[in-house]
């Protein structure tokens, strides 16, 4: 392939993908990977842990592979490939801007992940900023604000209660100082959608700003900064089918430009000079580069842009409809097992993405998840999903008795204090969720066919 234009790289990859697979709307890598079962034989791996990290889209992989020979340094080199890579990086920024339907003047900063994006925003808060955050948030949204004045809001039981709770809290705040609300778009525990537009309206009515944690929303639903009227959005590439180490913080430039650079170093600085007194003066960039010190992760940014294009071209309407079928299959299957309790804040009718957590009466969740893996080749997650307060609220269990994130506290067979999470999205075949439902029913009815033991706090097959 010649290096004529950056666009040529991605167009070639699109054409290959369209020819390769017309059955699944967006094929992912790993569809043919087989894994051994403890009970004998092999099965294709059912990756049902998308909420942690989704498989790479085939299109993303193809785009990255097509670009890889042309990889070069960004922003620094005089050579052709450096210029091409710089174009690719800056074009990726524009693609993300379009994907998020950003306003004029918004900045797209490439970070390492959602966690990194929210910590960056936390470091850029104006002095005396008050922060409002629901206790139901993922730790990435819950914890970065601890140096500010934080109000933790109790878990609401309806979307309307969420808005009313926020309004009450904001009404009591000092109306003159700056304030920020941080809210998730879709829960990483229940998959339920939060009333982002209404929360944004409440925030703005009380003179506060709002940042949307779209880590679980962006892979499943369109996110329009303009329509939702949020001030910032954060998401991670590896949950958006682009596992190359990048994330995004997009939104208003003013707080970011007024803040000290997140990292001090090359790329963030425009001019550095020695002072007569021996010190150093620095002029920092005012663009997104201010918070992107160091050599940018061009492949990470390019892969996110590739995923944004692929999702947009596939069409979110089709993706949402397909995912809803999978959600219905899983929820209907689980509803047929009386021992299973699905965790929910907002109730059965709440709109949700393909993230479902549950507990099974009489089972340790780690044991259950280990059996799903070892006996059925199904990868799910067990634990508290880095949302300890929410999972504890939903389980109604004693906070003091819980283990660390992902670490079970009980031996196989004991009552569970953790939960199991199944999650899916683009490229998930029907067979994976059907196998999952069958496995749940068989495990509950017949018990595990193998012995398991706890090693380093996790259940594993005994042999």
Ligand X SMILES: Cc1ncc(COP(=O)(O)O)c(C=O)c1O
Residues forming the site for ligand X (CB under 6 A): 51, 113-115, 138, 140-141, 184, 188, 213, 215-216, 236, 238, 386
Rounded distance, CA 415 to CA 407, Å?
A: 15
Q: 186 phi and psi, to 5 degrees?
A: -140, 135
Pairing of strands 458-461, 452-455: antiparallel
Instruction: Using the minimum distance from each CB to ligand X, give the nearer residue, 238 or 392.
Output: 238
**DSSP secondary structure letter of residue 174:** -
In angstroms, how far apart are the furthest CA atoms of the chain? 80
Beta pairing partners, 14: none
Smallest separation (angstroms) from ligand X to the CB of 308: 16
Nearest to ligand X of 10, 402 (CB atom): 402
* Smallest distance, ligand X to C-beta of residue 5, A: 32
Query: What is the distance of C-alpha 458 from the center of its chain?
Result: 24
Closest approach, Cβ 245 to ligand X, in A, equals: 10
Using an 8 Å Cβ cutoff, are 384 and 392 in contact? yes
The nearer residue to ligand X, 302 or 376, going by C-beta atoms, is 302
Least distance from C-beta 236 to ligand X, angstroms? 3
Q: What is the nearest approach in angstroms of ligand X to the Cβ of residue 409?
A: 21
CA distance 155 to 161: 9
Q: Which is nearer to ligand X, 126 or 245 (CB)?
A: 245
Instruction: Respond yes or no: is residue 308 known to be catalytic.
Output: no
The owner of tokens 């020695």 is: 274
Considering beta carbons, is residue 130 or 141 the nearer one to ligand X? Answer: 141
3-state helix, strand, coil in the chain (%, to 5): 40, 20, 40
Task: List, in order, residues 6 or more apart from 368 with CB less than 8 Å away.
Answer: 360, 382, 416, 420, 443
Q: Which of 129, 308, 386, 459 is catalytic?
A: 386
Region of 386 (left: φ > 0; alpha: ψ -120 to 50; beta: rest) is left
Catalytically annotated residues:
386
């Amino acid at each position: 392939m010649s290096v004529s234009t950056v666009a040529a790289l991605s167009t070639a990859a699109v054409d290959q993908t369209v020819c390769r697979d017309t059955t699944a709307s967006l094929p992912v890598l790993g569809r043919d990977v087989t894994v051994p079962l403890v009970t004998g034989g092999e099965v294709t791996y059912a990756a049902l842990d998308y909420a942690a990290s989704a498989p790479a889209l085939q299109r993303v992989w193809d785009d990255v592979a097509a670009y890889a020979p042309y990889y070069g340094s960004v922003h620094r080199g005089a050579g052709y490939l450096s210029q091409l890579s710089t174009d690719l990086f800056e074009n990726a920024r524009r693609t993300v801007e379009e994907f998020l339907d950003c306003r004029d003047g918004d900045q797209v900063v490439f970070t390492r992940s959602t966690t990194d994006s929210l910590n960056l925003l936390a470091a850029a808060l104006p002095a005396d900023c008050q922060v409002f955050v629901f206790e139901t948030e993922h730790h990435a949204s819950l914890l970065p604000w601890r140096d500010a004045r934080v109000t933790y809001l109790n878990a609401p039981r309806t979307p309307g209660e969420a808005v009313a709770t926020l309004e009450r809290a904001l009404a009591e705040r000092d109306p003159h100082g700056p304030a920020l609300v941080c809210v998730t778009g879709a829960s990483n525990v229940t998959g339920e959608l939060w009333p982002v537009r209404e929360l944004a309206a409440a925030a703005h009515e009380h003179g506060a700003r709002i940042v949307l944690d779209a880590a679980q929303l962006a892979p499943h639903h369109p996110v329009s900064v303009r329509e939702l009227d949020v001030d910032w959005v954060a998401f991670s590439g590896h949950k958006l089918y682009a596992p190359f180490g990048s994330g995004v913080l997009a939104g208003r430039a003013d707080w970011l430009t007024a803040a000290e650079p997140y990292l001090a170093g090359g790329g963030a600085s425009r001019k550095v000079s020695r002072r007569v007194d021996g010190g150093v003066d620095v002029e920092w960039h005012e663009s997104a580069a201010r918070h992107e010190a160091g050599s940018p992760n061009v492949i990470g940014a390019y892969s996110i842009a590739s995923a944004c294009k692929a999702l947009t071209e596939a069409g979110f309407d089709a993706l949402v409809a397909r995912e809803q079928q999978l959600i219905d299959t899983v929820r209907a299957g689980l509803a047929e097992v009386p021992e299973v309790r699905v965790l929910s804040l907002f109730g059965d009718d709440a709109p949700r993405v393909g993230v479902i957590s549950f507990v099974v009466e009489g089972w340790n969740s780690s044991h259950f998840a280990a059996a799903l893996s070892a006996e059925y080749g199904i990868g799910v997650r067990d634990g508290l999903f880095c949302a300890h307060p929410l999972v504890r609220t939903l389980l109604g269990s004693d906070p003091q008795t819980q283990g660390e994130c992902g670490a079970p506290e009980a031996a196989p067979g004991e009552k569970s204090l953790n939960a199991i999470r199944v999650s899916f999205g683009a490229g998930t075949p029907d067979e994976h969720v059907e196998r999952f439902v069958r496995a749940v029913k068989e495990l509950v009815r017949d018990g595990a066919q193998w012995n398991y033991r706890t090693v380093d706090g996790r259940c594993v097959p005994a042999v």
